Amino acid sequence: MYGTVARLRPKPGQEQGVIEYVEYWVRERKPAVRGALGGYVYRLDNDPCTWLFAIVFQDRESYRANAESAAMDADYRRLRALLVESPVWEDGEIVGQF
């Protein structure tokens, strides 16, 4: 498995917009994206203005295909408009789960 963890900060008042973006992605985009398995959204206890996305794909190839697609670029721009700054993305191989 392969995926990414993103650190992001919603604009004040745009938290619900980020949640709606995630709901849209799960409902409309995920079924059409080969290899997309799922993910989680965290709001940090020690900094509620910081959220983490943890997103899982079947393999690196399906992750890269999505990341490099025009559809994901449009989705990213939609998400980015809701954020204070660009997210920090950390991509990598998932080597275990517990």
pLDDT along the chain (98 residues), means of 10: 98 97 96 96 97 98 97 96 97 94
pLDDT of the residue at 98? 87
The alpha carbon of residue 89 and the mean position of all alpha carbons in its chain are separated, in whole angstroms, by 9
Mention every residue, 6+ apart, whose C-beta is less than 8 A from residue 82. Answer: 10, 11, 14, 17, 18, 21
pLDDT of the residue at 11? 98
Q: Are 13 and 81 in contact (CB under 8 A)?
A: no
Q: What's the predicted TM-score (pTM) here?
A: 0.90
Give the separation between CA 76 and CA 67, rounded to whole angstroms.
9
pLDDT of the residue at 68? 96
Q: Are 62 and 72 in contact (CB under 8 A)?
A: no
pLDDT of the residue at 62? 98
Q: What single DSSP character describes residue 59?
A: S
Among candidate residues 71, 46, 52, 51, the one with its CA nearest the CA of residue 3? 52
What architecture (CATH level 2) is domain 2-93? 2-Layer Sandwich (3.30)
Q: Are 4 and 91 in contact (CB under 8 A)?
A: yes
